[in-house]
Structure 1
Amino acid sequence: MSGDPDGYGFGEQLPIEPIDPGSTVLVAGPALSPAESLVRSLVLQAAEDDEASLFISTNKTSEKLLTACRRTDPALDTSLMGIIDCSGQEPKPNETDAALKYVSTQSDLTGIGMKFSALYESLYADAADGRVRTGLISLSSLAMYVDLRKLFRFAQTLSGRIDSAGGLGVFAIDPTTHDERTVNTLGQVTDGRIEVREYEGEEDGIDGEVRVRGLPEQPSGWQPFALS
């Protein structure tokens, strides 16, 4: 594959070339598209590469997120995984190796940021070469609880920390729930965008199509992809 040999790769099933360390990308797709599944897949590749993964889950409990992750990878190793559960629902007993932290409400961006910093530092220390992939699912959920200015600063802070640590950030957004100005504003904190849509062809085993923008040495146009 082309691109930075030290970049974050994604396996042969996804038509996305390695992304440079320190980058954050916006994954944009409607709620019924496979956008969130793609975010999970991009981040969960960490387990295959001896890297760590960190999820900020705003619309699912940690239990439901782990269930969704195991649908993506039934043999998932959670020993280098962390989850910040911001769903606001009462946490259930933990039966996983993943490190779990809880924030009582999606509006507490300061609390989320503090938990993120602590968990990222721990994972960074344990991961191979300090490589950590962060998935935020999703900006659209947070936008229901805080104004755009606060959300922009929060996303900017996260991407800045990811950049300085040489990590990878993957932030999900549903562009159909925002005006174009909001999507473009939040997109300013990222290095590129991965757009996702449903696949309308007839080939079996295809989950959707992606188009990468703003990142170097990526395929042009819409590309079909499979998550399994």
Structure 2
Amino acid sequence: MIQKEMYSYKTGIPQIDQATGGFDAGTNLLILAPSLSLGEELAYILTKPLPGEYSVMLSTNERASEVINQFKAIGADKSFVGVIDAITKSSTPTITDTGRFMFVTNPTDLTGIGIKFSQMVEAIFDGTFSGKETGLFPPPIRFCVNSVSTLLMYRKLEVLYQFLHVMTAKLKKIEGFGIYTLNSEAFDEKTVSLIKQLMTIVIEIKVERSDNYFRVMGIHGINADWHKFTLNRGEVVMAL
């Protein structure tokens, strides 16, 4: 096993990777995006495991099978993807966990989500998650909460803030990379501001005349200008 220096997580976004070489291990990133934008698709791209990496998706909106199909569509190796599914168990109570698919009753079960996350991370660290060693230690793990918006519908802001505080701290400890999606239109400024406090970096998306634009806040050397972009087969394409 190779003992590595602090790992850098590539984003696939040219402006970011060229300026930073990738995000430092322990980074937590918020995608703040309106409905009907490319926010969720961008979250999948940022969560997709590159060779040598693992990914874990907490899904509050889609079943595990749908999540895996999304990852396959953008070229991810599903052997390195785990899903914590907060949807399926309410309609199929008998469904049981596997190594890479774990289920909680519903999105209110934050304690259960935390436990499943720890179990998955443990399996990744001890090499039993995929049966394929990557050779890197600690193993690089991307973790996505899709979405914080859904969790906020079920739990009070103070409770969810505490949960996210614990999760972001865990990601820093294991030298992972956290991605969190939040609907910019659904919550008041106080809520958005509080969630932002837990994050290292914010990518904000807006839609104008059906075109998507993003800006990045929190990275030294990158200004907060808006950039027009599209997505093509799992790649971020910057408009000229």
Normalised by the length of structure 1, the TM-score is 0.84
Helix, strand or coil for the counterpart of 1:172? Answer: strand
1:211 aligns with 2:220: no
Q: Which residue of 2 aligns with 1:80?
A: 80
CA distance in 2: counterparts of 1:121 and 1:216, whole angstroms:
33
Q: CA deviation at 1:192?
A: 1.6
1:204 corresponds in structure 2 to none
Partner of 1:109: 110
For residue 236 of structure 2, what is the aligned residue in structure 1? none
Query: Which of the pair is proportionally richer in strand?
Result: 2
Distance 1:36 1:82, change over 3 A: same
- State whether structure 2 residue 77 is matched by structure 1 residue 69: no
Q: 1:42 aligns with which of 37, 41, 46?
A: 46
Which deviations, in whole Å up to 9, do the C-alpha atoms of 1:21-66 show, x marking residues without a partner?
101011000121110110110010x2x3320000000111111222
Does 1:227 find its partner at 2:231? Answer: yes
1:170 pairs with 2:179: yes
RMSD: 2.5
Give the total of aligned pairs: 213
Task: Report the secondary structure of 2:61's partner residue.
Answer: coil
- Provide the rounded CA distance (Å) in 2 between the counterparts of 1:34 and 1:27: 10
Larger Rg: 2
**SS where residue 33 of structure 1 aligns?**
coil
* Residues 42 and 90 (structure 1), Cα distance of their counterparts in 2 relative to 1, 3 Å cut: same
Report runs of 4+ in structure 1 exceeding 6 Å deviation: 91-94
Deviations 1:93-131 (A, max 9, x none): 89xx97000001110100111101111222244453310
- Structure 2 portions without partners, runs of 5+: 128-133, 233-240
CA 1:151–1:9 in structure 2 vs 1: closer, same or farther (change >3 Å)? same
Cα distance between partner residues in 1 of 2:198 and 2:185? 19
Q: Percent identity?
A: 28
Question: Which residue of structure 1 lines up, in the alignment, with residue 62 of structure 2?
Answer: 60
Report the counterpart of residue 123 of structure 2 in structure 1. Answer: 122
Distance 2:52 2:141 in 1: 10
One-letter amino acid matched to 1:37: E
Partner Cα distance (2:80, 2:93) in 1: 20
Stretches of structure 1 that go unaligned for 5 or more consecutive residues are 202-206
State the match for 2:130 in structure 1.
Answer: none
Equivalent residue for 1:134? 143
Corresponding residue SS for 2:199: coil
Q: Which amino acid aligns with 2:65?
A: E
Counterpart of 2:185, as a letter, is T
**Aligned partners of 1:175 and 1:29: how far apart in 2?**
5
Whole-Å separation in 2 of the counterparts to 1:56 and 1:120:
13
Q: TM-score, normalised by structure 2?
A: 0.80
Inter-partner Cα distance in structure 1 for 2:94 and 2:182 = 27
